[in-house]
Structures are given as structure tokens and as C-alpha cells.
Structure 1
Amino acid sequence: MANNLQDAAIELEKAIRESNEYQSLKDSYDKVNADPSAKSMFDNFRNIQIQLQQKQMSGQEITQEEVDQAQKTVALVQQHELISKLMADEQKMSEVITDLNKTIMKPLEDLYGAAE
């Protein structure tokens, strides 16, 4: 049984990689990485995101200065056409993953009942 589930997971991985959403995301990611200005800006944005997530997960308080810096960085990257497209494609892929997760979790939801 476990082998069948693993086989299904491998097929799902292939389907994700072949999906329009993934292909669009990969194309956008490649374009950002090919543009030195966009890559630098995007890397800075990702580093700020990671730092804030790590602080939050470790229970440290995020300062107003850090929030302000993050908001300025988000506003800046959203103005860059390549990064803006990448972020939109990331959102679409996230929606696909959320929908897949709902489908995968359906048997457990049926078994235990939906969370209220």
C-alpha cells in the first residue's frame, strides 16, 4: 500500500512540474535570475522575509523599524516588472498547492470531521 501511495506522489510531482502554473513560475524565476538588478533586489527581499520569519518562529519581537523596512522593500520589488510577475506566479502556484493539499487531506477530514 505504501508503495502505491509513493508511486502516486511521484506521479503528482511530475504533474506539478508539467503544469502551466509551474512552468510559468519557473520561467519567471529564470528571468529574475538572469537580470542582475532584479536578482539582487529579489535576493534582498527574500533575505528580509527569511530573517523576519526566523525571528517570529523563535519568539523574538519584530521591531517597527523592521516592519517599515520590509514594507519599503515589498513596495520596491512590486514595482519591478520581472519580480512582480514572479510574485504573481508564486501566488498562483501556492493556490494550486493549497487545492492539492485539500484533496489529499479529504480522507482524514472525512474520517475525523471538518475542523470548525
Structure 2
Amino acid sequence: MANVYDVAYALEKAIRDSDDFKRLKQLYDIVNNDASSKRLFDSFRETQFELQQKQMMGEDISEEDIQKAQQQFTLIGQHEGIAQLMQAEERMSMIISDLTRVIMKPLEELYGAPEGLQ
């Protein structure tokens, strides 16, 4: 029987070798190699992180925070390279979520799905 860690490393390699990951990396490199794109993308990611931190700490998110995020989202939506990068990120996130569901299936079958997820 296969060692689960060996299978996990094989899965990591499969992800790295996947067309979706290669596309994500290519788009990431394109954005990061252009100074203005990188600055815009980094600023957006920083704003996202700050809002997530506030949510996790139970802090209120101000109208100013929301407006800043919306303005940045509009700007990056107009930037083709960043928009494509975000689409590729979303695709990889869906893949990782699907893989997590598959990995968790034995435990869910054993214990049942948590309340609210049934």
C-alpha cells in the first residue's frame, strides 16, 4: 500500500505539472515583471489582506475600506494581465477546494459532515 506522504508529494508534482498551474505561474511572472502592474497588484492584495485581518479580528470594515477595495477591484478589472491572473488564481483555488473535498471524504464518511454543511 502506498504511503500517504508519497501520494501527497506525487499530488504536489501533478499540480506543478498541470496546465492550470503553469498558466498561473506564467501570468504571475508577467504581472510581476512589469513594475506598474506589480505595484497595482500588490496594492490590491494588501487591501484584501487588511480587510481579511479586520474580519478575523472582529473589527468593523468602514465604508472607506469598502470604497478603496471597490476602486482597486475596478482598476485591476481593467488591467487585462491582472484580470487574467485573478481568473487563473480562481481556477487554481477551485481545483484545491475540489482536492480538499476528495481528501476529506474518508473523515466525512467516518464522522459525518459538520452541521450546516449537510
TM-score range, shorter chain: over 0.9
RMSD: 1.4
Distance 2:112 2:69 in 1: 39
TM-score (normalised: structure 2): 0.92
Letter in 2 for 1:18: D
Identity among equivalent positions (%) equals 51
Please report how far the alpha carbon of residue 85 of structure 1 lies from its aligned counterpart in structure 2 after TM superposition: 0.4
Q: C-alpha separation between the residues in 2 aligned to 1:109 and 1:93?
A: 23
Question: 1: CA distance between counterparts of 2:105 and 2:57?
Answer: 32
Deviates more, 1:105-114 or 1:26-35: 105-114
Residues 43-68 of structure 1: CA distance to partner in whole angstroms, max 9, x if unpaired?
Answer: 10011011111111111111011001
For 1:31-86, what per-residue CA distance to the aligned partner results, in whole angstroms no more than 9, with x for missing partners? 00011111010010011011111111111111011001101100110110100000
Rounded to whole Å, the distance in 2 between the matches of 1:34 and 1:101 is: 32
- 2 CA distance for matches of 1:78 and 1:39? 14
Name the aligned partner's letter for residue 51 of structure 1.
Answer: E
Equivalent residue number for residue 66 of structure 1? 65
Larger % of helix: which? 1
Aligned-partner SS, 1:62: coil
Name the residue aligned to 1:53.
52
Moved over 4 A (4+): none
- What TM-score, normalized to structure 1? 0.94
Matched, 1:17 2:16: yes
**1:91-115 deviation line (CA, Å, top 9, x unaligned):** 1101110110111011111112234
AA aligned opposite 1:39: K
The residue type equivalent to 1:19 in the other structure is: S
Gaps of 5+ in 1: none
Counterpart CA distance in 2 for 1:16 and 1:9 is: 10
